[in-house]
């Protein structure tokens, strides 16, 4: 797992720059490893979320066939505790129409934060936005809901899918206002150096474009440079 300093080095960049850096290693296709449009950080305050995925699946449209309701599933808490920190709760609403009930509100956010999760990512709905914002617990979701309805857990620790991104327990995820990118652990420690080079080059291109001495020759020269 990465050290605190290595994680902080990644956090200095946005998800777009990290995604660009991942491309340089050619460990996956360029159209893989990130969420598709529709996911937003619905809480105020910090909007960057970095950590190892603690996965679960939930439903809210009907009462559970067997077992207990959402907050009674303490076995999931034990599973979360087996993962490295920082953790990110990743909750897939597997109802045919996700969002019929809130996956996370103030109480569940407080529980997850106590379990050392730094935020939540879900394809379902969330609620209690002002209160959860006060907790400093980012919630990435497509929508909000008034009630939790029949929200209950149906599985945990297994792969989930959030807006086209396949996520396994323990995957390193990075989320901000653009969405979520999955960071391959085998290259994670090398990403900040590559990301810094990419950002530096991009800023030089921007400065050329904004300069009163702009010329297409200067722009093309910078684009073609190796630095």
What per-residue confidence (pLDDT) applies to 62?
A: 87
Round to the nearest angstrom and report the end-to-end CA distance of the chain: 30
Give the pLDDT score at 74: 78
Structural Rg of the chain based on CA atoms: 20
Contact 12, 174 (CB under 8 A): no
Provide the CATH number for the domain formed by 34-173 in this structure: 3.50.30.40
Q: Does residue 67 have a pLDDT over 60?
A: no
pLDDT, tens digit, for every residue of 119-170? 999 999 999 999 999 999 999 999 999 999 999 988 999 999 999 999 999 9
Looking at the chain, which residues constitute the CATH 3.50.30.40 domain(s)? 34-173
Rounded to an integer, what is the distance from CA 35 to the centroid of its chain?
Answer: 9
In sequence order, the 6+-apart residues with CB closer than 8 A to the CB of 32 are: none
List all residues 6 or more positions away from 5 whose beta carbon is below 8 Å from its beta carbon: none
Q: What are 79-117's pLDDT values in tens digits?
A: 999 999 999 999 999 999 999 999 999 999 999 999 999
Model pTM?
0.94
Take residue 178 and report the two structure tokens written for it.
Answer: 């653009």
Q: What is the mean pLDDT of residues 31-57?
A: 95
Average pLDDT over residues 12-16: 97
DSSP 194-205: HHHHHHHHHHHH
Residue 172 β-bridge partners: 52, 183
Confidence of residue 66 (pLDDT cuts 50, 70, 90): low
How many residues does this entry show for the chain? 227
Mean pLDDT, rounded, of the chain: 94
* 172-176 and 160-162 strand pairing: unpaired
52 pLDDT band, cuts 50/70/90, is very high
């Amino acid at each position: 797992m990465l050290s605190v300093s290595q994680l902080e080095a990644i956090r200095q960049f946005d998800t777009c720059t990290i995604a660009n850096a991942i491309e340089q290693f050619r460990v996956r296709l360029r159209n893989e490893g990130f969420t598709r449009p529709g996911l937003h950080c619905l809480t105020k305050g910090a909007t960057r979320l970095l950590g190892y995925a603690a996965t679960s699946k939930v439903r809210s449209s009907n009462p559970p066939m067997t077992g207990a309701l959402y907050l009674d599933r303490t076995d999931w808490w034990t599973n979360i505790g087996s993962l490295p920190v920082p953790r990110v709760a990743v909750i897939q609403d597997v109802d045919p129409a996700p969002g019929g009930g809130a996956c996370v509100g103030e109480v569940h956010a407080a529980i997850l934060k106590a379990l050392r999760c730094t935020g939540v990512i879900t394809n379902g709905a969330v609620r209690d936005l002002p209160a959860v914002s006060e907790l400093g617990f980012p919630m990435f979701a497509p929508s909000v809901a008034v009630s939790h309805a029949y929200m209950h857990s149906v599985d945990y620790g297994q792969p989930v899918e959030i807006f086209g991104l396949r996520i396994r327990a323990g995957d390193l995820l990075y989320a901000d206002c653009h969405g979520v990118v999955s960071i391959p652990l085998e290259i994670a420690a090398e990403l900040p150096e590559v990301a810094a080079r990419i950002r530096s080059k991009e800023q030089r291109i921007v400065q050329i474009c904004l300069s009163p001495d702009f010329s297409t020759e200067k722009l093309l020269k910078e684009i073609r440079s190796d630095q």
